Amino acid sequence: MKRTIRATGYTFALPCVLFGLWWALAQHSQSYFLPDPVKVVKMVPSVWGGPRLTEDVLPSLRRLVAGLGMAIIVGVAAGIPLGTYRKAREVFEPLLEFLRAVPSTVLAPILLLIVGINDWMKIDVIALGCAWPILLNTIEGVRSIDEVMADTAEILRLRRWRRLWYLVLPGAMPRIMAGIRQSLSIGLILMLVSEMFAASNGLGFAVVQFQRIFAIPQMWSGILLLGALGFVIAWIFGRLEKRVLRWYFGLKETTSAG
């Protein structure tokens, strides 16, 4: 109990200090662009709780989830054969290195032309950016599957789908999860960029809209909401990761203790 209180204290101490600092600065600042943070926080429910919840927040989240989902499917599905076959890796690796170096934000205008201004364009931008860390981590995860475990699967005559399901996927799962974690923040950024670029709704669109009409506190409230959103997504993912990789964390603990 005492420990949880202390842990919570550590978690929230710095944000509280920073918030206080912002507040103090805002009291003495005449700047129009630096509003009182208390006012901004108070504004969050009124600005984002009403129609904007269904018109901006939820569409954004939908795009993010769809893009991430697509990235996971594509990244894992392509990563498994590439991790399994050395030949395939040798053929594809240079191309992958090049494509990875292309920032996915620059794909937004191209996809806009190909796909058009719609949800799919944003989902594709998010998926294209998020697929890389998942793909590369999956390749690495599959490649580093223990030799003895692979031999064991052979001996047990686990082939094809059974091998995939009982050995390859769980064996690569720690790395796959690490890849997904990296792609979460990338996804959030790409969601915003694609919405700022070409959209008629969404969080990115709304924040830019507020900025253009000089609704500065509203704009700040959007930024706060985005920060909170990122935090909540990371937290949910952390819980999921603990559940899926329970064996992995347990194993790590016992090997480091022994």
**What tokens were used for 130?**
């998020």
Sole residue written with tokens 């208390």:
38
Q: Mark the segment that binds other proteins (CB under 8 A) among 17-25, 91-99, 146-154, 232-240.
A: 146-154
Number of residues in contact with other proteins under rule CB under 8 A: 24
DSSP-derived secondary structure letter, 56: I
Minimum gap (Å) between residue 245 Cβ and other proteins: 9
Verify binding: residue 167, other proteins, rule CB under 8 A. yes
Minimum gap (Å) between residue 250 Cβ and other proteins: 6
Cβ closest to other proteins, residue 45 vs residue 250: 250
64/68 Cα distance (integer angstroms) = 6
Binding-site member from 54, 118, 144, 152 for other proteins (CB under 8 A): 152
- Give residues with Cβ within 8 angstroms of 52, minimum separation 6: 206
Binding-site member from 154, 234, 235, 240 for other proteins (CB under 8 A): 154
> Among residues 195, 194, 211, 215, which one has the least CA distance to residue 203?
195
131/180 Cα distance (integer angstroms) = 9
- According to the 3-state scheme, what is the secondary structure of 219-231? HHHHHHHHHHHHH
Residue 43: phi, psi to the nearest 5? -75, -25
Verify binding: residue 255, other proteins, rule CB under 8 A. yes
Verify binding: residue 166, other proteins, rule CB under 8 A. yes
**What tokens were used for 223?**
């930024």
Binding-site member from 116, 151, 200, 242 for other proteins (CB under 8 A): 151
Verify binding: residue 248, other proteins, rule CB under 8 A. yes
For the chain, the distance separating the N- and C-terminal CA atoms, rounded to the nearest angstrom, is: 28
Binding-site member from 170, 181, 185, 216 for other proteins (CB under 8 A): 170
User: Where along the sequence are the contacts to other proteins (CB under 8 A)?
Assistant: 146-149, 151-152, 154-159, 162, 166-167, 170-171, 173, 247-248, 250-251, 254-255
